[in-house]
Amino acid sequence: MLSLIVAVALTAPYELADLKALEKQQSWAELVQHLSDIAPSKRDKDWEGLAERAGAGYLGTFEMKKPETAEAPMDAADDLIKKYPFLKQSKVFMGKRAEVAVKAYGLSFSNYRHSSGEDPWLDELRAMAESDTVTPDLPYRLAKEVVLPKLIAVTAFPLFKLSLDRGSKTLCKDADFHKALIGALEDGSWKSETESMSGKCWDDFKGPLTAALTAPKANNAFRRNACPLLASKNALPAAQKDACEKASQ
C-alpha cells in the first residue's frame, strides 16, 4: 500500500503554483514538460503567459555549436506550436524562435546540398519565415544575416520580397536588396515579381539599376529584362538604346 501511495505521489500532476516555482528557478525543460498538467479548462491568461515565457526560456537552453544538431531548437519550437497553437501568435515565443533561427540556420548550412536548381536549406528558411506573422523583421534578418554571407544576392530575393510584402519601411534603400533585384533581372527569375517590387521602390532602385545597365559587365540577358523596365518609367539612358535594341533581337 505504501509503495502505491508513493507511486501516485510521484506521478501526481503539477499545479499552477508548481509551474510558477519552476519559472522562478528557470527550470525551463521541466516546466515545458509539465505545462499540459494543467487541464484545458483551467488554462487561463495566467497559464498562457507562463507557457509563452516557458517556451521562450526553453528554446534559449539549446547549445548550438555543431551543424548537425543546430536545428534542434527549431524542431522543439515546432513541436510546442503543434501542441499549443496559441504560441504562434505570441510575440514573446515567436520572437525567441526567430532569434534562435538566425543562429541555427547559419550553422546548419553545411548539412544541406546547395544547387542552382534546388536548395532545401533556402526552402526551409523561406517556409519558416512565412510561418511567422508576428515577427516583422524575421525575413529581412534571415536574408541579411544568414543567406547573404553564404550565397549570391539573388538567392535572398524571396525573403526580401516577403519583407517588402509585409510592409518594410526601410528595405527600398538597402543596397543588398538592390543587388537581389538586379540578380533576378540578370537571370530572368521572378521577372513579374521583380517588376512589381521595383515599382514599389523605384525612387531608390532607379540609380542602382541604371548603374548596372551601364556597367561593362552588363550582358544581353540582363538588358532584355532591365531595358523594358527602365523604358516603362521613361528612364532609359539614351546612350543605352542601341545596346537595348540589339539585345532584344
The series of mean pLDDT values per 10 residues for the chain, 249 residues long, is: 45 91 97 96 96 98 92 96 97 97 94 79 94 96 96 94 93 96 90 91 96 92 93 93 90
Q: What is the pLDDT of residue 10?
A: 54
Residues present in the chain in total: 249
For position 248, what pLDDT does the model report? 86
Q: Which three cell numbers stand for residue 61?
A: 537552453
Whether 138 contacts 98, CB under 8 Å: yes
Please give the pLDDT value at position 187: 86
Q: What pLDDT was estimated at residue 1?
A: 46
pTM: 0.88
pLDDT given at position 165: 95
